[in-house]
Structure 1
Amino acid sequence: MCEPLRQLTRKDVVFNWTHEHDEAFDTIKQSVCNAPVLSYYDSKLETVIQCDSSESGLGATLLQEGQPVAYASRALTQTEQNYAQIEKELLAVVFAFKKFHHFTYGRRVFVESDHKPLEIINYEKEIEGTCLSDYSAVSSERQTRIKQATLEDQTLLKLIECIKNGWNKAPREVKPYYSVRDELSVDNGIIFRGDRCIIPKKRKQSKEPLISHSIPDKPWAKVGTDVFTFDGNDYLVTVDYFSNFFEIDRLYETTSKEIVAKLKQHFARHGISERVISDNASVYKSEKFKSFSRRWDFTHVTSSARYPQSNGKAENAVKTAKRIMKKEKHSHTDPMLALLNFRNTSQQATSYSPAQQLINRKTRTLLPERSNQFQPSIPSNVKAKLQKSKDRQAYYYNRNAKPLHCLRAGDTVRIQPNERNKTWEKGIVVEKRQTRSYNVLRENCTVVNRNRKHLRRTSELFNEQREETVDIDPKINDQELLPQRDSRTETELKPQTIGQSVNSETPATPVTQRRSGRIVRMPLKYKDYHLTDKR
């Protein structure tokens, strides 16, 4: 219908309006003025697509009960006009499904075409069913447990009902799955989203109960410290566990020497803390920091590797400091004034400000106050109020928490990797370092510290890799420890026998560690010889 007019728009055609163009123009006007009546689409009715192809265009109609629901058409490109007729007819079918994608995706659709060869090519055939559970990476025993847990989960039972019977009357509990409804399927009593099974809440790893730090009896007795970066600069935050009073220091070098110098200033101002808590960053594990803790007589405690929640006080102070600095940068004001105001703002838990809880008085700010407000006054019942706040927080946190089973020395585990796409390494528990903190021997003869959250017990056998040389990865931030003696096992793990497995009775070959950190082990072919150094 539009082809005579479309030809006039091509660059190689002389514009010459003839009687043929008049007829085409009148036909188009008549079609526009007399648009057909379309019916509403109903997902419960049978859907039919009628499509056809001409020398210069494609056309398609979506029908239900013989009534048109939607029309679509487009012109063929110069390349498409050179297609064979059977290719044009199949192109019309593809065009129709793309145009009516929202009406046809995931539904049974009948296609009507006047091209007989397409019937032979696109004949309806029985599709072989694939059981997703047969190709799942989950063992049959665990599949049984997942299936049983699915049958006990009322929300998933309602979800199965919606998958089988439609989402027209979906209950509120399954609304979170509505956006991915086309990806859901049920196989052998297990719900799959694509090729991944949905784990019931009962089988999911729940969060562990909250274990809070003990509240110190006096200010500045226990402090937390952490390093953070803001606007390209490094800073050190030091926070008091009793008062929430924290200091911010600019670090021009992120070295142990710089951090020790900043902490000495705070200890000279507020007194030496009894305990300092930090993460496992290299600046806190250096020999210089260890020497500093011995000479200044305080206990240094590190949190579990890759588990910042155990140093939550410092992490929360970092979050507050960043928020203050970001707001002051945006408003072009002095961040030290904002920090001063924070230190003099009363806290909800105790009704006292951090300054009052640390130095027993308010400090002067730009806000006008009466002079008697700055008189020293000892806050009362601070520890009891803090404990009450912690108990309330733990009550709400632990409502859906479930403790994980404790691990024992000799248990084989899988270690959660740093990235999701990496394989879980196999290891064996050497000892329990702290609450929920374990030292685990990996198959490459290195020992790392991990929180219980990052370990999964397995029934696999631990196979230690015996290599002649082992390179320590410099990117690993964990504290690489040598196996220590564990009184709960029958095997004695000595530091010099890194290559000896917990369950192995074969004596380990001698090893030496070079200054670079590279571990050199004597080749196994010399295990029956006694070698001496006569240099």
Structure 2
Amino acid sequence: MVQQCDICLTRRSSNNKEPMQPHQIPEQPWQVVATDIFTLDGVDYPVTVDYYSRFFEVDKLSDTKSITVIRKLKRHFAKYGICQKVVSDNAAQFTSEQFITFAREWGFEHTTSSPLYPQSNGLAEKTVQTAKRLLRKAKSDNRDPYLAFLEYRNCPLECGYSPSQLLMSRRLRSIIPTVKSLLKPQTVNTDIVQDKINKSRSSQKHYYDQTAKSLPSLADGQTIRVQMKKRWVPAKLIKDNHDRSYTVQTEDGGIYRRNRRFIMSTKEKCPELSENFPNLLHQTDCGKSQSNESAEISPLISPQNMSASHENQPYVTRYGRSVKPTSRLVEHA
């Protein structure tokens, strides 16, 4: 009865967290990188971090246009090489047509994390915290932030090697006195590094999963509810994007991509939804993977429908949703 009650389902509590699903460890440095944009003291910074070595770069943006972010990434790719895969969130800079063209021309795969679920891009989020902390400390102590970044890149990780050693097979000279022999290049055994990283991740997953619970899988076409601002609204599951990411369609015709944690299966009757929505199987970032849909595909108004609206006639969006004119409230004198 509760599974069919609209009031109960709308105000139901959020789903519990699921067991941790760590990213696969790359086989070599700068093979997979993550990127994100953060703001500190009114200034925008893009951060780019290597999944293997944890070596990160921070830049200062003059504006937040997609072409500006692309130039910063090109600069890093020219220094360390073009990576095979870039992971980002669904910010407009990374879902634009310019970024899709950039990925295609430079030959790397671009994947996006589930909207409103920053945990799926956890390395970039954690690196943003580290960069902010270093910048704030340097500003408070009136020190050079570049020296702070340098010392961080020389600090050993849990695997026993520093980010600079993992990326460039050598320590970096800093203002801290160092024996010359330690600055000589030394090859790092990748098998030992991956083994230590796996042990560290296994320990993290063990403690994280103690309070986690797996959610049942969902099927295409299933009646569900999706969480929108602490409310669960009726929807229909359109497609499974794998990795706990699903594409859903709400009653108003809106199509969204959401993580499994924000989806709830119900026993309600299937809501009446428009079937005139585009095939999302082909709307992927860079045409590389089916899991790279944009964050949200909201109903848009085409020019033909705009002309129809001027004639005071009801028009239909390209996703098949009928748009009704807004009713105005008239105050009584």
The CA deviation string for residues 410-443 of structure 1, in whole angstroms up to 9 with x for no partner, is: 11111111x33xx422110011012100000111
- What CA distance in whole angstroms lies between the structure 2 residues aligned with 1:390 and 1:231? 34
Q: In the alignment, does 2:250 pair up with 1:442?
A: yes
Q: In the alignment, does 2:159 pair up with 1:361?
A: no
Give the fraction of aligned pairs with identical amino acids, expressed as a percent.
Answer: 39
> TM-score under structure 1 normalisation?
0.50
- What CA distance in whole angstroms lies between the structure 1 residues aligned with 2:20 and 2:2? 32
The CA deviation string for residues 379-421 of structure 1, in whole angstroms up to 9 with x for no partner, is: 221111111111111111112221100111011111111x33x
Q: In the alignment, does 2:310 pair up with 1:514?
A: no
Equivalent positions of 1:82-121 (< 5 A) are: none
Equivalences, count: 288
Distance 1:267 1:336, change over 3 A: same
Q: In the alignment, does 2:177 pair up with 1:379?
A: no
Q: Displacement of 1:226 after TM fit?
A: 0.1
Partner of 1:257: 67
- What CA distance in whole angstroms lies between the structure 1 residues aligned with 2:149 and 2:301? 51
- What CA distance in whole angstroms lies between the structure 2 residues aligned with 1:366 and 1:296? 37
- Aligned Cα RMSD in Å? 2.9
- What CA distance in whole angstroms lies between the structure 2 residues aligned with 1:443 and 1:378? 58
- Pick from 13, 16, 20: which aligns with 1:210? 20
The CA deviation string for residues 233-254 of structure 1, in whole angstroms up to 9 with x for no partner, is: 0000000000000000001111
Which secondary structure state, in structure 1, belongs to the residue aligned with residue 35 of structure 2? strand
Distance 1:346 1:141, change over 3 A: same
Which secondary structure state, in structure 2, belongs to the residue aligned with residue 215 of structure 1? coil
Question: Does the 8 A contact of 1:430 with 1:484 survive in 2?
Answer: no
Distance 1:214 1:442, change over 3 A: same
Distance 1:515 1:388, change over 3 A: farther
What letter is aligned with 1:290?
Answer: I
Which secondary structure state, in structure 1, belongs to the residue aligned with residue 165 of structure 2? helix
Partner of 1:278: 88
- What CA distance in whole angstroms lies between the structure 2 residues aligned with 1:485 and 1:215? 27
Which secondary structure state, in structure 2, belongs to the residue aligned with residue 361 of structure 1? coil
Moved over 6 A (4+): 515-518, 521-524
Higher relative contact order (CA 8 A, sep 6+): 2
- What CA distance in whole angstroms lies between the structure 2 residues aligned with 1:425 and 1:250? 40
- What CA distance in whole angstroms lies between the structure 1 residues aligned with 2:187 and 2:52? 14
Partner of 2:312: none
Partner of 1:88: none
The CA deviation string for residues 66-101 of structure 1, in whole angstroms up to 9 with x for no partner, is: xxxxxxxxxxxxxxxxxxxxxxxxxxxxxxxxxxxx
- Pick from 437, 440, 459: which aligns with 2:267? 459
Equivalent positions of 1:224-243 (< 5 A) are: 224-243=34-53
Partner of 2:294: none
- Pick from 475, 479, 482: which aligns with 2:278? 482
Partner of 1:335: 145
The CA deviation string for residues 155-192 of structure 1, in whole angstroms up to 9 with x for no partner, is: xxxxxxxxxxxxxxxxxxxxxxxxxxxxxxxxxxxxxx
Question: Does the 8 A contact of 1:447 with 1:482 survive in 2?
Answer: no
- What CA distance in whole angstroms lies between the structure 2 residues aligned with 1:210 and 1:514? 45
What letter is aligned with 1:303?
Answer: S
Question: Does the 8 A contact of 1:443 with 1:462 survive in 2?
Answer: no
- What CA distance in whole angstroms lies between the structure 2 residues aligned with 1:268 and 1:515? 45
Distance 1:310 1:522, change over 3 A: closer
What letter is aligned with 2:317?
Answer: I
Partner of 2:204: 393
- What CA distance in whole angstroms lies between the structure 1 residues aligned with 2:321 and 2:56? 54
What letter is aligned with 1:308?
Answer: P
- What CA distance in whole angstroms lies between the structure 1 residues aligned with 2:280 and 2:125? 31
- What CA distance in whole angstroms lies between the structure 1 residues aligned with 2:304 and 2:35? 30
Q: Displacement of 1:255 after TM fit?
A: 1.2
Q: Displacement of 1:304 after TM fit?
A: 0.6
What letter is aligned with 1:370?
Answer: V
Q: Displacement of 1:299 after TM fit?
A: 0.3
Distance 1:523 1:244, change over 3 A: closer
Question: Does the 8 A contact of 2:173 with 2:183 survive in 1?
Answer: yes
Structure 1 unaligned spans of 5+: 1-137, 143-195, 467-480, 487-510, 525-535
Partner of 1:130: none
- What CA distance in whole angstroms lies between the structure 2 residues aligned with 1:314 and 1:260? 17
What letter is aligned with 1:385?
Answer: K
Structure 2 unaligned spans of 5+: 6-10, 283-299, 307-315, 323-333
Partner of 1:162: none
Distance 1:295 1:141, change over 3 A: closer
Q: Displacement of 1:369 after TM fit?
A: 0.8
Equivalent positions of 1:71-220 (< 5 A) are: 139=2, 205-220=15-30
Q: Displacement of 1:333 after TM fit?
A: 0.7
Which secondary structure state, in structure 1, belongs to the residue aligned with residue 197 of structure 2? helix
Which secondary structure state, in structure 1, belongs to the residue aligned with residue 119 of structure 2? helix
Which secondary structure state, in structure 1, belongs to the residue aligned with residue 60 of structure 2? strand
Distance 1:214 1:520, change over 3 A: closer
Q: Displacement of 1:465 after TM fit?
A: 5.8
> TM-score under structure 2 normalisation?
0.80
Partner of 1:405: 216
- What CA distance in whole angstroms lies between the structure 1 residues aligned with 2:56 and 2:320? 52
Q: In the alignment, does 2:99 pair up with 1:289?
A: yes
Which secondary structure state, in structure 1, belongs to the residue aligned with residue 194 of structure 2? helix
Distance 1:437 1:250, change over 3 A: same
Partner of 2:291: none
The CA deviation string for residues 109-154 of structure 1, in whole angstroms up to 9 with x for no partner, is: xxxxxxxxxxxxxxxxxxxxxxxxxxxxx94999xxxxxxxxxxxx
Q: Which structure has the bigger radius of gyration?
A: 1
